[in-house]
Amino acid sequence: MAEKEDDGRMGKEVATIYYGPTGRNGWDCLQRVTFLRLDEADRMFCPEFEADITRTIQNTWQDRHIRQGSGSDLPQGGEFVPFPVTRRTNSYSIMMEEDMENGRSYQERPRTFSTVRSKSSIPLVFRLLMRINPRALIILSLLVFSGVLYVGASTSPIVVFVFCICTLSLFFSLYLAKWVLTKDEGPPEMSEISDAIRDGAEGFFRTQYGTISKMACILAFVILGIYLFRTTTPQQEASGLGRATSAYITVASFLLGALCSGIAGFVGMWVSVRANVRVSSAARRSAREALQIAVRAGGFSAIVVVCMAVFGVAILYSTFYVWLGVDSPGSMKVTDLPLLLVGYGFGASFVALFAQLGGGIYTKAADVGADLVGKVEQGIPEDDPRNPAVIADLVGDNVGDCAARGADLFESIAAEIISAMILGGTMAQRCKIEGKSLLLPSNILVNKNTGHNSQVVAHILDMLNPSGFILFPLVVHSFDLVVSSVGILSIRGTRDSSLISPIEDPMAIMQKGYSVTIMLAVLTFGVSTRWLLYTEQAPSAWLNFALCGLVGIITAYAFVWISKYYTDYKHEPVRLLALSSSTGHGTNIIAGVSLGMESTALPVLVISVAIISAYWLGQTSGLVDESGNPTGGLFGTAVATMGMLSTAGYVLTMDMFGPIADNAGGIVEMSQQPESVREITDVLDAVGNTTKATTKGFAIGSAALASFLLFSAYMDEVASFAQLPFKEVDIAVPEIFVGGLLGSMLIFLFSAWACSAVGKTAQEVVNEVRRQFIERPGIMDYKEKPDYGRCVAIVASASLREMIRPGALAIISPMAVGVIFRILGHSTGQPLLGAKVVASMLMFATVAGILMALFLNTAGGAWDNAKKYIETGALGGKGSESHKAAVTGDTVGDPFKDTAGPSLHVLIKMLATITLVMAPIFL
């Protein structure tokens, strides 16, 4: 049975034929094969053509290939459309080995993109859950949730509140996922390309995270050995927390942090590879509908990542609180409990670093290889199906920008929550805000059963319990889930059929949602500070801390605005960069480097003002220690960091929007959609480049504040272990100055190795693409298919190989420096030399890393959008000499903004967490 239908594209028709095998039960598998035709003049739809199709089916039925989402034999476009496209029915599809050319079949056309997925890429935990009966799974979920609530109720009502908000947010994320997945996938040629991207991304994800998990297990054994033989603090000895218990707690926290970080990466990748084709399909109908789908897909990942970070820390805190009997006589105090969570942040940082390195090398090596040969040498458009590296490029957007960014933001949130909890506990301890073990007046204790005095007891206990200061970061992020959800829902789509141009600037729409989120965050932050940070010792302290949060929120907005100014082609810096392309490749590179360097000034000034303002507000809050000295300065900075992160869910949504829009544009280009559709996806892609740059600026700012907090926590931990004062680091001491030099050198060497890894891998891709164009001249005429699978294999293996060296450098360097100078210090009578040198190394690495990351991210984003600006028709448009120079600049900026720059965010915080975990070996 054959039929003819219109697929909605200009000048193209679809011939569809239904067929299936006749078995014992008759037609048990109905299949559909769709043949694309240029127009009726090229191949008339007639009975003879139908007979040719039927004959081809009969001849190839026995040799058919049954697959499940492999993405092989992608559709081609242009003057000839010789390759058939299949639409799966009942989860199966049948590939035709013979293609149709001029109504006749021809043989020996290679299957160039073989199945990447050899086994399920879904994590084992999820596969096991999927096998459970749904009712049993619901009952099991209720039991687990009841157990979690019981543990939370045994800890604090604040923890119960956090659990409830996180649970509701998870249900909201499921709603977003369901809403996105119900959208149309578009014509069959789009779904075929999407299948190939999904299989490549999931296959690489499985291999990459398998490698990372093995390294994590090895490091867990190293941590266990160190903690089993390390010294313990007097507080731990007094509470009965021995070496073995401390070791097992730290290792368990590390492994849980690594696992959650991996799941966060998987969630980011899983939604992006399914959303991009739906965005492409929506762009055929309405720009705003495509924007809404991309935002909600990114919102799903963002909500899940924030939920997991908050849930993980809250569950660990509650479990340790109940298991160790915290605040009971003779046990650990609640103010010391946050230090046990450091392993969780280290595990998250470890996975995020390698995920960002591997994914960044993958995506940018493929992108550089595709651009250098495809755009510059062959003169074909970006994402053209004739380019053998195009599938690897599209796969890279998912594993580098979505999976890696999910792990990155998870690590950022987890590390900053833990550092703020540590400082909150330290400040409460210094101010003598003790807990339930505090001795109350005897008359109150005797008459506590009377109604009035019972309320007095409850009020005093609530007033003197430091839990509010410790759990404050968890509550802030719980409200973050609420306000970010409102911001995501504020972006609505339309079914307008106009394909000419977007109704409204997508960036303006997203900024409106961000403004809504910020206004709600200001309100909820004020409520949180009054609820948790009010104390009778300093009645106005909560107001000072609320102002600290406002400083953080303003800082976040300033970072977003500054990054947008330097990377959006609507503003002068990027337009001047594009103008420099008109005089050649060299001037483009010079202008891009100078723009990146200039872009470091404003963010540093904003960070400086934020740190000083927050510290001063904390110092003047009225909280003092036993000697009457103000103690709220560092905690004020921690509160400002929480304020900056109070909209992290929406910021991560904007970040995830970028690669989804980028992939949507690639699918539209490869499936040869009308130019009007490509114009919409190009606008969304340009906005995505800007949002990715702004969120990277946001991540750097938060990393700077968090590193300052973690540095202070490190000094407190060293003083606690050594029982010696450790309040300053004197860089006039030669050894300590050398430690600072080594920290700065580490940043430059790490960045060099990361960029070098992209360059080496890109060279392999360039050589492979050139070889295919030479050996298969029919590729340019759509008569031969490129070998996409070969480029995918090259990039995947090279990225996994190249990520080891810079990752190992980041982990081993602080440990080696600390141990070497510890030995030197003991031999020269300087007991804390190792710890001081590591502190200096951490301090200088943080400063150099912030500046380097700002330079790399902004320069790379500006180069990319300068190219996009020229592609809109400015300065000669596509194919002009200015465009070629801009492509060169974009190629240089690719490893800057998507490999080395984002990896530095993780490196800065990982250096801080690894020094916290490994502090005992430096003494």
382 vs 879: CA distance, rounded Å: 11
Q: What is the pLDDT of residue 58?
A: 35
Long-range contacts of 51-58 (CB under 8 A, 24+ apart): 52/100, 52/103, 52/104, 52/105, 53/2, 53/15, 53/17, 53/100, 54/2, 54/17, 55/105, 56/96, 56/98, 56/100, 56/105, 57/17, 57/19, 57/33, 57/96
* Contact (CB, 8 A) for 738 and 891: no
Same structural domain for residues 554 and 600? yes
Residue 130 scores a pLDDT above 70: no
pLDDT of residue 11: 38
Q: How far apart are CA 708 and CA 711, in angstroms?
A: 5
Q: Report if residue 791 sits inside a domain.
A: yes
Task: Confirm whether 517 is domain-assigned.
Answer: yes
- 17 pLDDT above the threshold of 60: no
Using CA atoms, how far apart are residues 448 and 440, in angstroms rounded to an integer?
11
pLDDT at position 694 over 80? no
Domain boundary pick from 154, 175, 201: 154
pLDDT for residue 793: 82
Within 8 A by CB and 6+ apart from 576, the residues are 591, 595
Higher pLDDT, residue 865 or 60: 865
Is 16 within a domain? Answer: no
Q: How confident is the model at residue 465 (pLDDT cuts 50, 70, 90)?
A: low
Which string of DSSP letters, residue by residue, matches 691-730?
A: HHHHHHHHHHHHHHHHHHHHHHHHHHHHHHHHTS------
- pLDDT at residue 462 above 80? no
For 838-864, give one letter per residue: b (16+ CB within 10 A) or e: bbbbbbbbbbbbbbbbbbbbbbbbbbb
Within 8 A by CB and 6+ apart from 300, the residues are 173, 176, 177, 180, 267, 271
| pTM attached to this predicted model | 0.76
What range defines the domain where residue 140 resides? 121-154
Is a pLDDT exceeding 70 seen at residue 105? no
Q: What is the pLDDT of residue 232?
A: 65
Lowest-pLDDT range, 226-230, 553-557, 736-740, 797-801? 226-230
Contacts of 859 (CB under 8 A, 6+ apart): 592, 593, 595, 596, 597, 599, 893, 896, 897
Most confident of 136-145, 493-502, 543-552: 543-552
How many residues in total does the chain contain? Answer: 923
Do 127 and 244 lie in one domain? The reply is: no
Read off the pLDDT of each residue in 705-727 and give the average, rounded to a whole number.
76
- Neighbouring residues of 310: CB distance < 8 A, sequence distance ≥ 6: 162, 166, 413, 417, 474, 477, 478, 481
pLDDT in tens, 202-258: 778 788 888 888 888 888 888 888 888 766 666 666 666 777 888 888 888 888 888
Residue 479 structure tokens: 């409200």
Same domain as 314, residue 204: yes
Residues 144 and 238 in one domain: no
418 shares its domain with 523: yes
Per-residue pLDDT band for 330 (boundaries 50, 70, 90) equals: low
The count of structural domains within the chain is 2
The answer to whether residue 459 is domain-embedded is: no
Average pLDDT for residues 902-910, to the nearest whole number? 83
In a domain, 259, yes or no: yes
Q: Does residue 476 lie within any of the structural domains? A: yes
For residue 571, pLDDT beyond 60: yes
377 or 45: which leads in pLDDT: 377
Residues 127 and 191 in one domain: no
* 642 in a structural domain: yes
Same domain membership, residue 621 and residue 757: yes
pLDDT of residue 246: 81
Q: What is the mean pLDDT of residues 610-620?
A: 90
DSSP label of 647: G
Residue 33 lies in a domain: no
Q: Measuring CA to CA, which residue among 461, 510, 385, 423 is closest to residue 157?
A: 461
The band of 590, judged by pLDDT with boundaries at 50, 70 and 90, is very high
Q: What is the arithmetic mean of pLDDT over 639-650?
A: 87
Encoded tokens for 895? 């490893």
Identify the bridge partners of residue 19 per DSSP, sorted by sequence position. 31
Domain co-membership, 138 together with 281: no
Pair (255, 126) in one structural domain? no
456-465, 732-741, 882-891: which range is least confident on average?
456-465
Mean of pLDDT values over 140-161 = 80
- Say if residue 339 is in the same domain as residue 427: yes
Q: Given pLDDT bands bounded at 50, 70 and 90, which one contains residue 122?
A: low
Of 908, 44, 156, 146, the closest CA to residue 532 belongs to 156
pLDDT at 792: 82
Provide CB contacts within 8 A for 158, sequence distance 6+.
467, 468, 471, 474, 475, 532
How high is the pLDDT of residue 800?
Answer: 82
Same domain assignment for residues 150 and 194? no
Query: CA triplet 88, 90, 96: central angle to 5 degrees?
Result: 35
Q: How confident is the model at residue 587 (pLDDT cuts 50, 70, 90)?
A: very high
User: Is 814 a residue whose pLDDT tops 80?
Assistant: yes
Per-residue pLDDT, averaged over 343-370, amounts to: 83
Mean pLDDT on 79-89: 33
Q: Are residues 785 and 850 in the same domain?
A: yes
Residue carrying the six token digits 């969780």: 344
Q: Are 514 and 491 in contact (CB under 8 A)?
A: no
**Angle between helix 188-228 and helix 788-802 axes, rounded to 10 deg:** 20
pLDDT of residue 459: 41
| Interval 782-808: pLDDT, tens | 777 788 878 888 888 888 888 888 888
Note the pLDDT of residue 236: 62
Domain boundary among 136, 154, 172: 154
Report the percentage of the chain scoring pLDDT > 90. 10
